[in-house]
Amino acid sequence: MPAYDTNNPFARILRGEFPCHKVYEDEHVLAFLDIMPRCPGHTLVIPKAPARNILDITADDYAHVARGAHRIAAAAIKAFNADGITVQQFSEPAGGQVVFHLHMHVMPRHDGIALLPPASRKEDVKVLEDNTTRLVAALG
């Protein structure tokens, strides 16, 4: 497996070099909206620890990410009046991973509405700002 790249986009977000629509942060994880969402409220939860994917993260650091995804899922149900949640994590190109910093996708779902194809469109900044406000409010 290739080494962790400290210049991947999510590492750069963690360093403040790239902006994001932050929803939640603690000492272990950062959660922010996907700028090419597959549904409204599509959030990414990443560890602050440098980890390429599930294959090289420590169990403790992964547990923090899982807890963060759990917290975001509950807030997304409330914020988007969702009927369910899809949580996804991809590791390595053969597993569908595109950005090589571990991340979990948390997507609020509604009955009968399919997800958009991955990376199919960039969301309007105003929509992302509104969705951030909804999620932050739901987190309390």
Identify the residue whose tokens are 């549904």: 39
Please state at what angle helix 59-79 crosses helix 125-139, rounded to 10 degrees.
100
| Annotation marks residue 105 as catalytic | no
DSSP codes, 77-96: HHHTT-SEEEEE---SGGGT
Residue 24 three-state SS = strand
Pair of tokens at residue 21 = 């629509």
Residue of 21, 42, 64, 103 with catalytic role: 103
Residues with catalytic roles: 103
